[in-house]
Structure 1
Amino acid sequence: MPDRKQYTPVTAAIDVEAAFKLLEGRWKLLILFHLFGGQVRRFSELQRLIPGITQKMLTQQLRRLEEDGIVKRTDHQEVPPRVDYRLTDWGQALCPVLDAILEWAERRDEFEFTEPASRARDRGTGRETS
């Protein structure tokens, strides 16, 4: 394994934000969770497993995940046509990362929270002012 890149707070934030952008959107995480563990799924099976997703949206999300190197699409040259999807090794490496995020989220109640200081808001936009 090559030496790990050295990060500054700025470069770390930029790279983490770029990684999160690969996963953003309403459906990508659902698709990934249905493919973890080496699952191989056909398009119709994914559509059935993810209520509310349209055929167009599933197609777009799978294409994007494939372009980003997270999902592998296999077109079996058969009649009738059969296409299936699985995670690449890099995509499968997301499983422990997302499990760690899930565990972190579950622990939220273990920590004390203080009320944030009231912040002034712009009357026109509703955005916080400094």
Structure 2
Amino acid sequence: METIMENCDTKFALEIIQGKWCLRIIWELIKDESIRFNELQRRVTGISPIALSNELKRLQKLGIIVRQQYDSVPPQVEYRLTTIGRHLDQALFALGDWGHEVREEHS
């Protein structure tokens, strides 16, 4: 059974989006084409600059987001979803529909 779970695509996907901040960051990036670091920190309330920076680096390494740095003073950095990251919107909207359905059943 463990061998099957090791190759499970759903498990792999869940490992990518796990964590306290990941989905909140992705959701903000789905809503806008690109966001600067400070704006993203304002929107994801409660996240520290270090936690945000670490999560952005992790998502960048996984190919979910891209970091664009502009040569300006002060330096300007923007984050946006990659094509693969953009595909998460379909999954999140489907999850929201499922959540609505379950909430209606329990009301």
**TM-score normalized with structure 2 length:** 0.87
Distance 1:74 1:67 in 2: 14
Quickly say closer, same or farther: Cα 1:28–1:109, change in 2 above 3 A. closer
User: Is 2:5–2:11's contact at 8 Å kept on the other side of the alignment?
Assistant: no
Picking from 21, 24, 28, the partner of 2:22 is 28
Which structure exhibits the higher relative contact order, with contacts defined as CA atoms closer than 8 Å and separated by 6 or more residues?
2
**Once the two structures are superposed, what CA deviation does each residue of 1:98-117 show, in whole Å capped at 9, x if it has no partner?**
110111121114558xxxxx
**TM superposition shift of 1:14:** 1.6
- Alignment of 1:83 onto 2:77: yes
Distance 1:68 1:35 in 2: 15
- Alignment of 1:44 onto 2:38: yes
Comparing 36-45 with 87-96, which one deviates more in the overlay?
36-45
4+ long deviations beyond 4 Å: 109-112
Tell me what 1:55 maps to.
49
**TM-score normalized with structure 1 length:** 0.72
User: Is 2:63–2:84's contact at 8 Å kept on the other side of the alignment?
Assistant: yes
Tell me what 1:65 maps to.
59
Unaligned runs of 5+ in 2: none
CA RMSD across the alignment: 1.9
- Alignment of 1:74 onto 2:68: yes
User: Is 1:38–1:87's contact at 8 Å kept on the other side of the alignment?
Assistant: no
Distance 1:20 1:47 in 2: 23
Unaligned runs of 5+ in 1: 1-9, 113-130
Percent identical: 35
User: SS where residue 105 of structure 1 aligns?
Assistant: helix
